[in-house]
Structure 1
C-alpha cells in the first residue's frame, strides 16, 4: 500500500519537489516498506523515536528533523539527522554548530518561519528571519539551505495560502541577499492536507504522512 501511495503521489507531484515522508509514530518496518519505492527522505519529530528507527534502518534513508528541537537533545540529534528543518534561534544554531564540530560534520539546516505569527508556535517571526540567517552564516559547522513553515492549523488549505506566499517572498528576498555561506535551495511547505496549495505557492519540499502511510491505527 505504501509503495502504491508513493507512486500515485509521484505521478501527481512535479519531479522538482522533494517528498519527505513524515514518519512520526510509524514503525521501522513501515519505513523499510517505504524505501522499496524511490523515496529516501524521512522526517522525524522526536530525537528518541528517530534513534530507534535509525538503528534498524541506518543510512538507507536521509533523515530530516521536522519537529521542534530542544537544545538538550542536539548532541544526539546531530548523530542521527542528515538535515534539521526546524532551527528557530541563534542559541539552537550555536549548539548544533558546537556538537557538529566534535564530529567533524557540517549540518545543513533550514530556518522554521512562524508565518502565521502565532504566539504558541515554534519558529521565527518573518521580520526576524534575515537577521537570524545573517548571524548563523558566521558559524562554521552549520549551513543554512532554506526555509520551512507549517502555517496556521486549519481544515481549509486555502486559509494558509497567505502564510505560504509570505514565506515564498521571504525565501526569494534572502536568496537575492546572497549571504556568504547561505545556499537557499529548499522551501519546505505543505503537508498531507495542504501540499497542492503549497506547491502552487512555490514549495519544492513537502512533508507528507497520512497520505503515504494511511491513517494512524
Structure 2
C-alpha cells in the first residue's frame, strides 16, 4: 500500500456528532493494514460556528479562521462535513490558500449518476439553496418538503443534535423521506450530516445518497494520492 501523501484538515463541529461520524467514515474507508497506513487528520471541532439555517457572516469568519489554523498546523487539503456551511467555501479557500473538497458537488454528482431527474433533499434552508443550484447545473430538479413539514424536519433534526437516536426519531425521518418520494423525488440526498445518524438506505424507498460518506471516500483517495486534489482558489 502506498504511504499517505497529503494531510487532511477537517472543519468540524456542525454538529459535533456528525463530525465524529465523518471521522469514523474516514477511518473505515481507508484500506489500512497497520496504523501507519492511515492518513493524518487534523480536526478543529468548533460548535460555535453552528447556527440554524444559513450560517451568517460571523460563521464564515470563524470558518475562515479555523481553516487558517488548520493550515498552520500542517493541513494540505480541507474537508467540511456540513452542507449548509459550504455557502462559505470560497471564503474558506481564499483565507487559507488550501483546496476544499466540495461535498455538495459530490452529492449532486452521485444523484445524477442514478439517472434520476428529480432529487429530494433533506436539509436546512442553506443546504437546499446550494443543492438547488448544483442540481440545476445538471439539468435536475430539487424536491423539498412543504413549509410545515420542513418545520417538522427541523424539530427532528434538533432531537438528533440533542443526542436522540431512538426508533421514534428514525420513524420521523423516514416520514420526511417518504414525503419527498410522494412529491416526486426519484433519489434522496441526505443534505444534512445528522440525517445518516438515524436513517440508513434500508429505511427508505428511494436510493439514498450520503454526501458525508462520499466526502470521506474522496478525502481518503486524495490524501493517498489516488485522485488529484482540487485546485485551491486564488
Instruction: Provide the TM-score with structure 2 as the length reference.
Output: 0.35
Q: Give the number of the structure with larger relative contact order, counting CA–CA contacts within 8 Å between residues 6 or more apart.
A: 2
Identify the structure with the greater strand proportion.
Answer: 1
Identify the structure with the greater helix proportion.
Answer: 2
Instruction: Provide the TM-score with structure 1 as the length reference.
Output: 0.37
